[in-house]
């Protein structure tokens, strides 16, 4: 729902040492030696962390720490960013409280329209604006980017946008800051900023095929048997009992859509997460989808209410090499803007399913 790094541990040791004073204190020397030894030990510990493929999205905190320690070939220089919906790091409580050392701050509003206007509809921003925002952080197509955030689907939303734009190596710390801290790694409160880059290195978007417009979604679901418009919404949203959102007064789904499960409410992707809060792997998603009306051979265009939840299954399939995937960005929110668009209310496999249009839908279905 709406809503809604490059660190060197030695610098932390230096700061701690200087804070004690400039005298020749033996305690100060002991602390400095201890921190240096700890840093060395950590680098030694992360030497054996297994490498991952470029296209791998979800990585462990241990992998990121190994990269930051210089133990992952090709990842000695990564840009790590905390993701949240605020447009300024100063307004992000979690970033201010403590973030991964060296992490910059990135807002979801840097990749999507935040007004909800008919022109924007919470869709991705224009290619030139997203490119400008990426460059402001020093991110180009060749930058190694590692994201994390408190909202699983919000972080996935930014990762998806970066891949769509053309960043060739985008990863997410699976489990976020909680997993990082649980692994025993330190955080910092110092704000960090990237160094602006001038040239992204390719035309944005480099992968327009990963984005499906409302017009294409409507046409293909009606005329392309291999195309599946997959709803990543809660059961109550899927059956038309509620829109799931307090600013959408009508409930239902685009006619011809199939259910991909994924959520218990409009604010989660609970079906796609493990008990520890990490995102499930492909086998986990296959288990969720074992009785769904689509296969991985279909072109799967995922959607939800406004484009967040849909990006999680997209990323899992993407990192497993699938290219017959996209996100219908506008979701139910944009569909509601067209009174003549076809709608289904209820389980399409049931005789009780109603087929109508947006304009004929009853109101009063907004989430309370």
Asked if 353 and 215 sit in the same domain, the reply is yes
Asked if 70 and 178 sit in the same domain, the reply is yes
Asked if 222 and 344 sit in the same domain, the reply is yes
- Is-catalytic flag, 292? no
Asked if 176 and 212 sit in the same domain, the reply is no
Task: Give domain status of residue 299, yes or no.
Answer: yes
Instruction: Print the domain residue range for 65.
Output: 9-35+49-182
User: What is the pLDDT at residue 116?
Assistant: 85
What's 338's DSSP letter? -
Asked if 177 and 224 sit in the same domain, the reply is no
Contact at 8 Å (CB) between 249 and 364? Answer: yes
CATH number at residue 301: 3.40.250.10
Among 182, 216, 233, the domain boundary falls at 182
User: What is the pLDDT at residue 114?
Assistant: 87
Sign of CA dihedral 227, 285, 66, 188: positive
Of the candidates 22, 92, 292, 304, the residue annotated as catalytic is 304
Distance CA 157, CA 169 (A): 15
**Stretches in the chain below the pLDDT threshold 70:** 1-42
Asked if 155 and 232 sit in the same domain, the reply is no
User: What is the pLDDT at residue 39?
Assistant: 44
Among 140, 167, 182, the domain boundary falls at 182
Distance CA 303, CA 331 (A): 5
pLDDT in tens, 187-208: 999 999 999 999 999 999 999 9
User: What is the pLDDT at residue 139?
Assistant: 98
Among 182, 198, 217, the domain boundary falls at 182
User: What is the pLDDT at residue 291?
Assistant: 97
Asked if 122 and 243 sit in the same domain, the reply is no
74, with CB counted inside 10 A (0-12, 13-18, 19+), is exposed
Sequence-ordered alpha helix ranges (H) in the chain: 9-20, 26-45, 61-68, 93-97, 127-136, 152-165, 176-182, 214-223, 235-238, 282-288, 311-319, 331-335
Distance CA 92, CA 10 (A): 27
User: What is the pLDDT at residue 18?
Assistant: 32
Number of domains the chain contains: 2
User: What is the pLDDT at residue 41?
Assistant: 57
Strands 342-345 and 354-357: antiparallel
Task: Give domain status of residue 41, yes or no.
Answer: no
Task: Give domain status of residue 257, yes or no.
Answer: yes
Residues 6+ apart with CB under 8 A from 3: 85, 108, 151, 154, 308
Asked if 156 and 271 sit in the same domain, the reply is no
């Amino acid at each position: 729902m709406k809503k809604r790094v490059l660190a060197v541990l030695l610098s932390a040791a230096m700061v701690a040492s200087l804070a004690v004073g400039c005298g020749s204190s033996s305690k100060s020397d002991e602390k400095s030696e201890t921190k240096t030894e700890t840093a060395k030990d950590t680098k030694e510990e992360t030497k054996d962390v297994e490498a991952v493929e470029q296209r791998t999205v979800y990585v462990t905190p241990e992998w990121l720490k190994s990269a930051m320690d210089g133990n992952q070939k090709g990842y000695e220089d990564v840009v790590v960013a905390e993701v949240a919906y605020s447009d300024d790091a100063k307004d992000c409580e979690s970033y201010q409280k403590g973030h991964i050392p060296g992490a910059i701050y990135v807002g979801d509003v840097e990749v999507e329209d935040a007004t909800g206007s008919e022109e924007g509809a919470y869709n991705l921003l224009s290619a030139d604006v997203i490119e400008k925002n990426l460059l402001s952080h020093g991110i180009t197509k060749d930058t190694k980017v590692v994201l994390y955030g408190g909202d699983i689907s919000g972080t996935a939303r930014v990762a998806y946008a970066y891949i769509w734009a053309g960043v060739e190596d985008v990863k997410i710390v699976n489990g976020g800051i909680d997993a990082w801290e649980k692994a025993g790694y330190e955080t910092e409160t110092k704000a960090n900023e990237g160094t602006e880059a001038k040239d992204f290195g390719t035309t944005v978007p480099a992968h327009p095929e990963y984005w499906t417009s409302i017009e294409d979604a409507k046409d293909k679901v009606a005329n392309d048997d291999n195309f599946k418009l997959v709803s990543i919404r809660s059961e109550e949203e899927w059956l038309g009992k509620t829109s799931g959102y307090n600013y959408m007064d009508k409930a239902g789904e685009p006619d011809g859509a199939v259910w991909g499960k994924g959520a218990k409410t409009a604010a989660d992707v609970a079906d796609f997460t493990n008990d520890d809060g990490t995102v499930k792997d492909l086998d986990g998603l296959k288990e969720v989808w074992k009785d769904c009306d689509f296969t991985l051979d279909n072109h799967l265009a995922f959607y939800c209410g406004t484009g967040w939840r849909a990006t999680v299954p997209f990323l899992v399939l993407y990192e497993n090499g699938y290219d017959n995937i996209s996100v219908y960005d506008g979701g139910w929110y944009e569909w509601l803007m067209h009174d003549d668009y076809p709608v289904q209310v209820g389980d399409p496999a049931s005789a009780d399913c109603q087929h109508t249009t947006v304009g004929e839908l009853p109101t009063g279905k907004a989430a309370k």
